[in-house]
Amino acid sequence: MITAVYPGSFDPATYGHLDIIKRASISFDRVIVGVLHNSAKSPLFSVEERVKILKEATKDLPNVQIDSFSGLLVDYAREKDLHVIVRGLRAITDFEYELQMAQTNRMLSHGKIDTVFLTTSLEYAYLSSSAIKQIASFDGDITPCVPDFVADLIYDKYRQKKLSENSDV
């Protein structure tokens, strides 16, 4: 039985991420989506919120499990006895960074962990969480990019941000 781990920030999950999860769930017996708790970044959604969003969005995929981790991915993988990492590749611009990450993780795990890349479905190739957040912050339409319940949560976040900024002045 092969379990793959799909790590990322998922701040928040987009249709691009969900497409990779769905396809990985067909190729592997089990997929663990690992939401990275990265204290260096200031995310829009907390780890708990990102986990909750992913759980809801993948509730129809029985072999997909959502978890969170902090620290090195190889340490998390070793702890869970996982040997395959899944990452999505959108364009050539992702490649250099992803190649470096894959080789680093292989080195750190002494060759025990390999990375498998799934190329994005063309209709989602342009999607990124950061672009979606930027569009939503200006009240643009993000409904083609994320499930409706996620779009509502993103708009709510920016509404709250604007309210707290206005009450500060």
Toward ligand ADP, which CB reaches closer, 99 or 163? 99
Of residues 37, 90, 106, 157, which has the active-site annotation?
90
Whether the ω angle into residue 12 lies within 30 degrees of 0, i.e. cis, is: yes
Please give the structure tokens belonging to residue 17.
Answer: 């991420």
Give the separation between CA 100 and CA 117, rounded to whole angstroms. Answer: 13
Burial of 96 (0-12, 13-18, 19+ CB in 10 A): exposed
Burial of 125 (0-12, 13-18, 19+ CB in 10 A): middle
Of residues 39, 41, 110, 164, which has the active-site annotation?
41
Active site residue 106: no
Active site residue 157: no
Give the separation between CA 141 and CA 136, rounded to whole angstroms. Answer: 7
Active site residue 133: no
49 binds ligand ADP per the rule CB under 6 A: no
Give the separation between CA 66 and CA 51, rounded to whole angstroms. Answer: 6
- Per CB under 6 A, the list member of 10, 28, 69, 76 interacting with ligand ADP is 10
- Per CB under 6 A, the list member of 8, 18, 85, 154 interacting with ligand ADP is 8
Q: For the window 74-113, what string marks contact with ligand ADP as x by the rule CB under 6 A? A: -------------xx-x---x-------------------
Pairing between β-strand 3-8 and β-strand 114-119 as defined by DSSP bridges: unpaired
Provide, rounded to whole angstroms, the least separation between the CB of residue 45 and ligand ADP: 11
DSSP 8-state secondary structure symbol assigned to residue 122: G
50 binds ligand ADP per the rule CB under 6 A: no
Report the catalytic residues: 17, 41, 90, 129
Chain residues in the site for ligand ADP (CB under 6 A)? 8-10, 14, 16-17, 20, 87-88, 90, 94, 120, 124, 127-129
